[in-house]
Amino acid sequence: MEETPTAALLTDLLLVAGQQPPVREEVRVWSMSGVERVTFPDGTTAIFKYAKRPFDREDQALRLAHAHGIPVPRVLASAVHEGQLGMLMEDLGTPMREADDLDAAAAAVVLHDAPTTSAFPLLDEQALQALPSRAMDHLGQLRKADRWQDTDDVEQALDRLARAAAARVQGAMLEPFGWVHSEFHPTSLHIGRNGWWLLDFARAFTGPGLLDLASWHGTLDAPDPVRLRVFLEQYVVEGGAPDALASRGGLTAEAWALGWHRMWAVEWFMEQAIRWINDPATDPGYIKVVRRHLADVLQLLDV
């Protein structure tokens, strides 16, 4: 039987790590990546993570984070097979509890204090301002493929945001500006017996740290500026940059952060729809999410 790409990737990793074939147990698997716990014949365990583009540089991000003193799981071995990244990582075990806002504030301070690196994509003021136009380009590509046809409301919202972006983006370079985890959620902050570790650096970039803070409470519920303001204040008390509370683009810090984080998410979802997933069957779900986020963005950024 022919070996699957994922199995071949694990074989490469075992060769690099000098390990024997393990027992594999799925932890989380989706269309573009997966996480397994592997148990070797001697009883030791590790985490096997694999991912397709654009999540295929996480090993570099984790090694850079470790070098800068950010608590992350150690990369034991990494390899690329047929364009897919695979990593064997330190197994941190089962979390003692779910991370709370105080844990997140402390972790964000450490992350945002780390020296910046040129290895990451840069989301500066100019790139942030371009997000509505980039999303409009994705919409054009989708329509050329005879998809997303009944989305004039999406086009109109993006056009309004593109015209207002230059004014609303002001302040993007205020501190904290540097490492952005980009998947900063309770599931990405592991609380163990000896402290905390940050996981899931597949989409780390250099940009406004407020985008991390805005992402912490998730995007499934309606945005809550009051809750985020309390979190921003906790962040500053823990040692975060005082400018995290400063007004930006004529808006409060919390409205600015929530609005631009959701605009960042909209552009990402639309890029997934045309480039990374590119499956018309997923269009109804993506359109629904994009519409919901765009309504939030228009309100938060007061456009």
* Separation between Cα atoms, residue 258 and residue 237, nearest integer Å: 20
Closest CA to 144 of 294, 273, 53: 273
Q: Using the CB atoms, write b or e for 25-50: b if 16+ within 10 Å.
A: eeeeeeebbbbbbbeeeeeeebbbbb
Residue 23, burial from CB neighbour count under 10 angstroms (0-12, 13-18, 19+): exposed
Q: Using the CB atoms, write b or e for 80-116: b if 16+ within 10 Å.
A: ebeebbbbbbebbeebeeebeeebbbbbbbbbbbeee
Q: What is the pLDDT of residue 194?
A: 86
Q: What is the pLDDT of residue 106?
A: 97
Looking at residues 198-208, what average pLDDT do you find?
Answer: 96
The band of 2, judged by pLDDT with boundaries at 50, 70 and 90, is very low
Q: What is the pLDDT of residue 3?
A: 63
Distance (Å) of CA 110 to CA 207, 250, 297: 15, 28, 29
Closest CA to 302 of 225, 208, 216: 225
pLDDT digits (tens, 9 = 90+) for 224-278: 999 999 999 999 999 999 999 999 999 999 999 999 999 999 999 999 999 999 9
pLDDT at 284 over 50: yes
* Separation between Cα atoms, residue 278 and residue 137, nearest integer Å: 15
* Tokens 């970039």 sit on residue: 205
- The tokens for 119 are 């290895």
Q: Can you list the domains of the chain with their CATH numbers?
A: 5-89 (3.30.200.20), 101-300 (3.90.1200.10)
Sign, Cα dihedral of 21, 26, 27, 30 = positive
pLDDT digits (tens, 9 = 90+) for 47-97: 999 999 899 999 999 999 999 999 999 999 999 888 899 999 999 999 999
pLDDT digits (tens, 9 = 90+) for 95-113: 999 999 999 999 999 999 9
Q: What is the pLDDT of residue 5?
A: 80
pTM of the model: 0.94
Q: What percent of the chain has pLDDT over 90?
A: 89
Would you say 249 and 125 are in contact if contact means Cβ atoms under 8 Å apart?
no
